[in-house]
Amino acid sequence: MRIYTSQVKPEMNDSEVELAGWVHETRDHGKIRFLILRDKKGLVQVIGKKGIVGDDVFNLLSLPKETVISLRGKVKSSPQAPRGVEIIPSEIKILNRVTIQLPVDPTSHVEADLDVRLDNRHIDLRTKRVQAIFQIQSTILRAFREKLTSLDFEEIIPPSLIAAASEGGADVFPVIYFDKEAFLSQSPQLYKQLAVIGGMERVFMTPQYFRAEKHNTTAHLNEITGMDAEIGFADHHLAMSILSETFLHILSSVKERNADDLAELKVELNVPKKLNIYTYTEAVDMLNKHGMKFEWGTDFGRDEERKLFEIIGEEAYIISEYPTAVRAFYSMPNENDPKISNSYDLMYQGVEMSSGAQRIHIPELLEKQIRAKGMNPANFGFYLNAFKSGAPPHAGFGMGLQRVTMAITRQKNIRECTLFPRDMHRLTP
Ligand code: AMO
C-alpha cells in the first residue's frame, strides 16, 4: 500500500515501503545517484549506488524533473539525509513522462512572473509557498463552517443565476437564459434573507459572487467566493458579535492548524482577544484630526482605510453605522437617525474583509429604499412579497474568502490567493 513521504520515519529502518509522486530533483555523483521524491506531504531522498541497486533502477534515478513515478524500496535511517531517513529503491515505475519544457519551476529556484504562474497554475501549485496559501484557505473555509455550525446555523445553497441585481447597480454579468434576461449572482443576499424569512432562522453559505466591476486592482476579482451568514431575530449588535467570533475563530484555527504553512510564508499571526467597534462618525473625526480633509457622508476609499489602520493601530476592528446613502438598499436605517444605517464592515490589516447590516424587514420602507437607489421595485416582486408574509427582523454579513486569505497570508495580490482567478483580463485556465 502506498504511503506518503512524511510517513517515512527513521524508526522504520529496513522496512519495505511503496511511495509515489513527482521527481523533484536529481543529483548524479557518478557511482551514487540521488532522487528527491515529492508528494502532497513533502519530500524524501531516494539513493542508489551503482552495483548495489539493479542497473535499470540506477538508470531511472536520473529521470527528468517532474516525471511521475511510483517506487518500492527499503527505509534506511541515515543521520546525513534530510529528516534522517532515505530510501534504497528496489523498483521504480514511470507513471507518466514530462514531454514539454516546464514554464514554472516547482523547486522555486527560478522565479516566474505571476501571469506565467497563473497560466500554468497546475505546475505553480506544486511549489511549497503556493501550497501553503491554499492549505490556509482550506482551514479558513473549514473554520467558518465550524463556528457557524456550532452556533446552530444551517448550510444552504443559493442560486447562481438571478433575475435582478441583488446588490443594485450595473455591475452584473448578463447571461443568455432561454428567452429571458438573467444575470450571474452578485451575492446570495436576497436568497439568504428568504431562507431566514422561511423559518430557517440561521443560515450560512459559501457561494460564488460575480461582480462586473471594471476594477483592475490587486484587491479585486470579478469572481469571488463568499462566506455569508444571515441571522433571524437579530439586530446589528448580535450580527457584529457573531461576525467577530467567526473571524477570530478563523484566525485562531489557522494559527493552530497551519503552523508549518505560516512559517513557509514567514507570517507571524496574532489573534486579538476581541474586535473593537468604532462608528463611521468617530472614524471621520479621527481622519480629520489627523490631517485628512474628509467630509461626512461619502464612503471611505483605500487612502482613508490605510490612514485609519495607522491611526487606530489595531490589526482588526469593525467600523459601524455608515451613512444610509452609501450602503446597499436593504440596509436598515437607524431608528433614531435615519441618515445612518445599522451597518458595519470588518477591517483586518487595514483592508475590508466583510460587510453587513441589519436588514429592512418593513416592506414599505424597503420599497422606498429601492426607489431611492433608482431601481424598479417591479424587478424585486418575489423579494418584496416575502416581507408581507411574516418576515422577522434579521441581520447578516458577507466575507470574501480570497480577501481573508490574502490578508492572513500577507500576500500583496489577491490573485495569489485565488486558485483560478477571474479578472478583467483572465478567463483561462
Ligand atoms: P460586499 O459587496 O461588501 O457585501 O461583499 C462582501 C465581501 O466580499 C468581498 N468582496 C470582494 N473581494 C474581491 N473582489 C471584489 N470585487 C469583491 N467584492 C466584494 C469583500 C467584501 O467585504 N450582500 C453583502 C453582504 C451582506 O450584507 O451580507 C455584500 O455582498 O471581502
Give the pLDDT mean for 44-53: 97
Spatial separation of the C-alpha atoms in residues 112 and 106, rounded to whole Å: 10
Which ligand 1 atom lies nearest to the CA of residue 228?
28
Residue boundaries of the structural domains of the chain: 5-96, 123-417
Q: Is 129 exposed, middle or buried (0-12, 13-18, 19+ CB in 10 A)?
A: middle
211 in ligand 1 pocket by Cβ < 6 Å? yes
Which ligand 1 atom lies nearest to the CA of residue 331?
27
Side-chain half-sphere CA neighbours of 182 within 13 A: 12
Which ligand 1 atom lies nearest to the CA of residue 343?
27
User: At 253, is the pLDDT very low, low, confident or very high (cuts 50, 70, 90)?
Assistant: very high
Give the pLDDT mean for 375-381: 89
Predicted local distance difference test score (pLDDT) of residue 401? 98
Q: Which residue's CA is minimally distant from atom 18 of ligand 1?
A: 220
Q: Which residue's CA is minimally distant from atom 3 of ligand 1?
A: 355
Q: Which of 166, 204, 224, 238 to mutate to test the pocket of ligand 1 (most atoms within 8 A of CB)?
A: 224
In the CATH scheme, what is the code of domain 123-417?
3.30.930.10
Predicted local distance difference test score (pLDDT) of residue 167? 77
Q: Strand, helix or coil at 285?
A: helix
Rounded mean pLDDT of the chain? Answer: 96
What spacing in Å lies between the alpha carbon of 227 and ligand 1's midpoint?
A: 9
Spatial separation of the C-alpha atoms in residues 165 and 207, rounded to whole Å: 16
Which ligand 1 atom lies nearest to the CA of residue 226?
8
Q: Which residue's CA is minimally distant from atom 21 of ligand 1?
A: 354
Angle value at C-alpha 279, between 413 and 317, nearest 5 degrees: 40
User: At 36, is the pLDDT very low, low, confident or very high (cuts 50, 70, 90)?
Assistant: very high
Q: Is the peptide bond before 429 cis (omega within 30 degrees of 0)?
A: yes
What spacing in Å lies between the alpha carbon of 265 and ligand 1's midpoint?
A: 26
Report the range of poorest mean pLDDT among 195-199, 370-374, 406-410: 370-374
Check: pTM over 0.85? Answer yes or no: yes
Residue 166 has pLDDT above 80, yes or no: no
Residue 168 has pLDDT above 80, yes or no: no
Predicted local distance difference test score (pLDDT) of residue 163? 87
Give the pLDDT mean for 179-188: 94
**Amino acid making up residue 185:** S
Q: Which residue's CA is minimally distant from atom 25 of ligand 1?
A: 398
Q: Which residue's CA is minimally distant from atom 22 of ligand 1?
A: 354
189 in ligand 1 pocket by Cβ < 6 Å? yes
Residue 108 has pLDDT above 90, yes or no: no
Predicted local distance difference test score (pLDDT) of residue 249? 98
Q: Which residues contact 200 (CB under 8 A, 6 or more apart)?
A: 154, 156, 232
**Amino acid making up residue 120:** N
Tell the CATH superfamily of the 5-96 domain.
Nucleic acid-binding proteins (2.40.50.140)
Give the pLDDT mean for 308-331: 97
User: At 387, is the pLDDT very low, low, confident or very high (cuts 50, 70, 90)?
Assistant: very high
What spacing in Å lies between the alpha carbon of 225 and ligand 1's midpoint?
A: 9
Q: Which residue's CA is minimally distant from atom 1 of ligand 1?
A: 355
What spacing in Å lies between the alpha carbon of 4 and ligand 1's midpoint?
A: 39
Q: Which residue's CA is minimally distant from atom 20 of ligand 1?
A: 400
322 in ligand 1 pocket by Cβ < 6 Å? no
What spacing in Å lies between the alpha carbon of 189 and ligand 1's midpoint?
A: 11
358 in ligand 1 pocket by Cβ < 6 Å? no
Q: Which residue's CA is minimally distant from atom 27 of ligand 1?
A: 356
Q: Which residue's CA is minimally distant from atom 16 of ligand 1?
A: 220
Which ligand 1 atom lies nearest to the CA of residue 356?
27
Which ligand 1 atom lies nearest to the CA of residue 166?
23
Q: In what order do the strands lie in the sheet with 161-162?
A: 161-162, 180-184, 174-177
CA distances (Å), 172 to each of 11, 128, 223, 299, 402, in order? 59, 36, 11, 21, 20
What spacing in Å lies between the alpha carbon of 353 and ligand 1's midpoint?
A: 8
Long-range contacts, stretch 96-101, CB < 8 angstroms, 24+ apart: 96/67, 96/68, 97/64, 97/67, 97/68, 98/64, 98/65, 98/66, 98/67
Grid cell, residue 161, equals 443565476
Place of cell 466583510: 354
Give the pLDDT mean for 104-117: 93
Which ligand 1 atom lies nearest to the CA of residue 189?
23
188 in ligand 1 pocket by Cβ < 6 Å? no
Length of the chain: 429
213 in ligand 1 pocket by Cβ < 6 Å? yes
Predicted local distance difference test score (pLDDT) of residue 193? 98
Percent of the chain whose pLDDT exceeds 70: 100
